Amino acid sequence: MAQNNLQVKLEEKVIALEEVVVRPHNLTGHITTDLRSFNTKPVITSASLGLPKAELKVKTRNERLLFEVDNGKLIRFRKRAISVNSIKLISKISGRTKMLKNRIELDKRLETENKIYNLYSEKTLSEELKIPLEHVPRFVNFLINQANFLKLVENMNDLQLLDYLKNQGKIYKKANQLQ
């Protein structure tokens, strides 16, 4: 069996430009002036149109599944009859309801973890918080498993979150003897 190797040598070529002109917009470089010169139409959303329930959050797949199996009353009493919501009853007995609630909680934790990593790379967290790079995933896990952390993150802007991470970094380093 013969092997054919092909080697390609690449060289970097840097081109320095003295001036760049962006057309057809003829930008000035001043953001406020350039924004005024654009004839942009406002983004149309269900809220801007005044549609009912436009402010409602779109449910995730697991939230929809939980709604399907846990919606409504378990037992309803009517004048001469009792009705049982069999789907809800079977889901509770089988553990499906609890499983879906756990999945929703996990989804929220993963969303929060992704938000942290999208804002700050592992390297940035390591440098800013003075935590060894190999400890950053454990530190993020430490944060996510704290009570009320998920709610705190929802209400913080990026700078407040960084300050919070710095404070929690000190606690983490002390608890793990990393100082």
- Its pTM stands at 0.62
In angstroms, the first-to-last Cα distance of the chain is: 57
Residues of the chain above pLDDT 90, percent: 35
Whose structure tokens read 């070529």?
13
- Measured CA to CA, the distance from residue 44 to residue 49 in angstroms comes to 7
pLDDT surpassing 70 at residue 1 = no
pLDDT in tens, 113-172: 998 888 888 998 998 899 999 999 999 999 998 888 888 888 888 788 888 899 999 999
- Measured CA to CA, the distance from residue 94 to residue 99 in angstroms comes to 9
Q: How far is CA 118 from the centre of its chain?
A: 8
Q: What angle do CA 37, 38, 39 make, to 5 degrees?
A: 120
Closest CA to 174 of 141, 133, 129: 129
